[in-house]
Structure 1
Amino acid sequence: MSRELFGRSEFNGGENLHRPTEEMMTPEERFKAVEVMKGRLEEDFISLGEILSEIKSKRIFKIKGYKNFRDFVEIEHNLSIGVCNKLVKIYDYYVKALNIDFETVKEIGLDRLNTIHPLIKDADYVVQEEWLKQAEELSQQELSEKVKEIRVKEKENSKTLKDVFVEQFMDNMKGYFNCSGKDLNYKLALYFQDMELDKVNEVIRDKQRRFEEEIEESHTKARKHEEETTPPSSKAPLQRGELKALNTEDTFPKGSFVEILRRRK
């Protein structure tokens, strides 16, 4: 697909150069194009990404005497390596991998494309299309909020009962001592400083065994409950440690780990 990388740009003190495609550019023209386009990043981010991608992948920066891409962009053009890698990533993924045309990519914009990239880079075609559609229709703020919601849900769904137990313990301790996490670590270090660690380890092993046994029991009950109440066609495997184990109606002894987690959930 033929694409116009830039219009009549000023190079070499006023000399007007025009190249219809990046493939026709010499290394020196690529270097000059970077210098011109970095001043209008919002407009030319995808074209700049294409040129930087070529310079990086083909190691054209060596012509200028640089050993690596980072030194080339930071020293030669005073550009952040983070920004340049982002531009390369956006071009390589959306234009080269997904074959989206320049105009569509430009209309969506750098920020929105970067926002949805983590969610679609390993997704299937349907998910990619849905997020691209939303990126076109939503504002940056609306899109960021939507992505944040998805991230929070993914984080919550990935938690194990052990994660929940640790979070609850730390929150309770910070609340009781009215301190930050850093200060709490300091207080715990003071507390354990003179403790007999062999005895502490015995207590920990005993409580860890109890915790894991109770979690396994809750998991078994949750699986049984799901098998009894869910139609075969819609069943999904219950993962070990999944928080569904807290939602069963089965009772556990007062003071058990599962009962404590359930009350605080």
Structure 2
Amino acid sequence: MHTLNSVCCVLISIGLVSVLGSCEKSKERSDHSADVRVQASSKIPLQPSEQAGGMSNRNAERLAGEAPPAASWGQLLSILSHEEREVLTRANHRYMGLLEFSSPQEYDALVKAGFPKPKEWLAFQEMSDYEIEKRVHANEKMARLFYADRLIQRVELASGRFGERAPEVERIAIDATVQAATALKGGRDPFSAYVYGKVSSVQLGMPEPLAAGIMLASDRGDLRAKQILHLFSKAQPDLRLDIVHVQYQDMKRAGHE
């Protein structure tokens, strides 16, 4: 918490500004890429579709149950098919390394904290929109988070260079925001904070909401968040800390914290 408090002190000392008044500049910054930036998957379709294929029987058995599927992230990737590795690698890149683990103990801690298991990433990737929506209507929180993630990737793919969107794409962005906000209020798991930050970042066309989501994830117990925030800030030299603070406070209110 010392690092987080220090960040917040810096934010407060700079002073608060209107988020809307900074949107034009943030759109210019959105063209800069970095490894820790949110990335869209090129394989997410713009229209609902059934996903073909599936996990092999061998890997389905490895991923079944509650035991860690491998001793480390690298070992897990080595036992999966090419398609399965692609799914998990893209997800790990989008979420700044959150899927990685270095031991069975770390894997168990991540699962206990509410992070999705590899088998859940793979299973939801294979589901159609209709199948996920049924789970969302049944109030399954993980389904809601995966649905928000799927929708916001479509928004990234369909948005223009300077963030312009067709009305249909804007409706998808709003739906993603609603799903992520609902999940954020449904508990204090850090993964919800990361998803909400990412969705808000794409929706507003600026990196500051994602930084705020990382801060909230730290509040919710993710010990990796401070390092992630450090790397993200280095990759975003024009990051507006005053806007990050505004977004952070808004997210705390949205999560009833």
TM-score in terms of structure 1 length: 0.23
More relative contact order, 1 or 2 (CA 8 Å, 6+ apart):
2
Which structure is higher in helix share? 1
Decide which structure has the larger Cα Rg and report it.
Answer: 1
